[in-house]
Chain A
Amino acid sequence: AQKITQTQPGMFVQEKEAVTLDCTYDTSDPSYGLFWYKQPSSGEMIFLIYQGSYDQQNATEGRYSLNFQKARKSANLVISASQLGDSAMYFCAMREVGYGGATNKLIFGTGTLLAVQP
């Protein structure tokens, strides 16, 4: 069965430092996509970054990068130069390509609560 595992329920990081949020996944489908979403205390879910299973390079979006290790089935999010506004819940999610084409059904992990300290 497809599954996303986030083993860190909570993380602390000092402002301006880098932090890595762990995510491992399990799927038997060779085609899939991996997403990270941020949920601040206000509640909205904000799309951060995407990695396709066939992408040759690790995805980057500004201060966010995804450390994609396909053989280990991990897709860790790296936030560089942390800011106070990065304090939020972070969710890793996987989208599968089912029979007949892509779907947009996401499977989420339980999330990691990141606290950035001044």
Chain B
Amino acid sequence: EAGVTQFPSHSVIEKGQTVTLRCDPISGHDNLYWYRRVMGKEIKFLLHFVKESKQDESGMPNNRFLAERTGGTYSTLKVQPAELEDSGVYFCASSQATDRGRIGTNSPLHFGNGTRLTVT
């Protein structure tokens, strides 16, 4: 099966511009996540979709970030306007439905290759 795909792989934009990142999860995965790694720091959770609904967006840094998942398939993450501190690698991940109350291995997160965003 095809894995999680992200586009673009790299993006270089100027401060104040807009960038849209796209993620195509593994087919059939209801759960879709966005994570971000700023250089040298840990990977941090941004938000979680279950199908088309935002389950948890507690990690979104501010209102310059907008994530959508129309139809419960692919997702986009828009940064508008971009700031220097937004530079980093943005990862998308997907998983099958989670068994409530269980934390078994049948739903590990499958990550994409990430989008490296550089804001200059």
Q: A97 contacts B103, CB within 8 Å?
A: yes
Chain A residues within 8 Å of B89, by CB: 43
Complexed CA–CA distance, A44 and B91 (Å): 9
Q: B101 contacts A101, CB within 8 Å?
A: yes
Q: A45 contacts B93, CB within 8 Å?
A: yes
Nearest chain B CB to A50 CB, angstrom units: 4
Interface of A is mostly: strand
Q: A104 contacts B42, CB within 8 Å?
A: no
Total A-B pairs, Cβ < 8 A: 81
Q: How large is the interface on A (under 10, 10 to 19, 20 to 34, 35 or more residues)?
A: 20 to 34
Chain B residues 44 to 73 lying within 8 A of chain A, measured CB to CB, are 44-45, 48, 56
Complexed CA–CA distance, A47 and B94 (Å): 12
Q: A110 contacts B42, CB within 8 Å?
A: yes
Q: Is B12 an interface residue (CB 8 A)?
A: no
Q: B108 contacts A35, CB within 8 Å?
A: yes
Contacts from A to B (Cβ < 8 Å): 4, 31-33, 35, 37, 42-47, 50, 52-53, 91, 93, 95, 97, 100-111
**List of 9 A-B pairs having minimum Cβ-Cβ separation, nearest first:** A101-B100, A45-B111, A108-B43, A33-B103, A43-B113, A50-B105, A44-B113, A47-B108, A110-B42
Contacts from B to A (Cβ < 8 Å): 3, 9, 31, 33, 35, 40-45, 48, 56, 89, 91, 93, 95, 98-105, 107-114, 116
